[in-house]
Amino acid sequence: MKRFFQSIRIDKDSYETILISWCICAALIWLTAHFIHNPWISIPLSAIFVIFMVFITWFFRVPERTTPDYENDRLVTSVADGKVVIVEKTFEKEYLKRDCIQVSVYMDFFDVHCNFWPVNGKVTYYQYHPGKYLLAFHPKSSELNEHSSSCLQNRHGVVFFKQIAGTFARRIVCYSKPGNMENRGDQCGVIKFGSRIDLFLPLDAEIRVKLGDKVKAVESVIAVLPE
């Protein structure tokens, strides 16, 4: 058990969110104890606030994951935990400006929300886009919602992806810096609460997932780039 808790790491960009949540819950616990004198009500209510404090801390955990075949630059792994909701041919008009295979992963409230680089390569593009907060699975959320766009390139191809905010996700953190060399499986940012990742892959990439699949960041292979 001790080893288990020592292995838990909390996302460094989420400390403020956690602290604010803890302060609000602590204030609610104090108000409950001060104004509700019936223990059958005050104790369960306080317990709910404590459980929420634990959950919000656990929500921003950074899991320890091992990326498959680390030296293989052709592998594209999932940026996030979640469910595959789109696998289709589409035209990527922001940066690549060509037809691609889009693979989208939707994260619900209980998924790990830290994001990880999908491929080994050099960051060639980054752009932050302010926007709306439609439900993350809405077809137009990729264009209209707040999102950040990043592109990685290596000798096997180009991988473009978007971190998209949802209705409750009001902050996106992305570590993309054009010119940096990044390693598949390292953390590339975090999206707070429900959200979505859109991956845009070359048409000749071998797609390894299908609609409805549950994927895990770092460990699940989304596609294999051509040789």
Q: What is the pLDDT of residues 100-119, one digit of tens each?
A: 999 999 988 778 878 999 99
Question: Does a structural domain hold residue 34?
Answer: yes
pLDDT at 204: 94
Residue 9, pLDDT above cutoff 60: yes
Q: What is the count of structural domains for the chain?
A: 2
Using the 3D structure, point to which of 15, 31, 62 is the last residue of a domain: 62
Which positions are annotated as active-site residues? 195
Question: Does a structural domain hold residue 69?
Answer: no
Specify whether 48 is located in the same domain as 89. no
**Contact present, 166 and 131 (Cβ < 8 Å):** no
Q: How far apart are the C-alpha atoms of 171 and 178, rounded to whole Å?
A: 21
Specify whether 89 is located in the same domain as 192. yes
> What is the rounded average pLDDT for all residues in the chain?
85
**Contact present, 102 and 90 (Cβ < 8 Å):** yes
Which contacts of 23-31 are long-range, i.e. CB under 8 A and separated by 24 or more positions?
25/49, 25/50, 25/52, 25/53, 26/53
Nearest to 142 by CA among 162, 124, 117: 162
Question: Does a structural domain hold residue 108?
Answer: yes
pLDDT tens across 129-164, in order?
886 655 545 555 556 678 899 999 999 999 999 998
**Contact present, 180 and 164 (Cβ < 8 Å):** no
pLDDT at 194: 62
pLDDT at 112: 80
pLDDT tens across 188-213, in order?
988 876 688 999 999 999 999 999 99
Residue 93, pLDDT above cutoff 60: yes
Four-residue CA torsion sign, 187, 170, 199, 124: negative
Diameter of the chain measured on Cα atoms: 70
Specify whether 79 is located in the same domain as 19. no
Specify whether 30 is located in the same domain as 94. no
Specify whether 108 is located in the same domain as 188. yes
Using the 3D structure, point to which of 62, 88, 113 is the last residue of a domain: 62
Question: Does a structural domain hold residue 68?
Answer: no
**Contact present, 76 and 215 (Cβ < 8 Å):** no
Q: 38 is in which domain, residue-wise?
A: 2-62
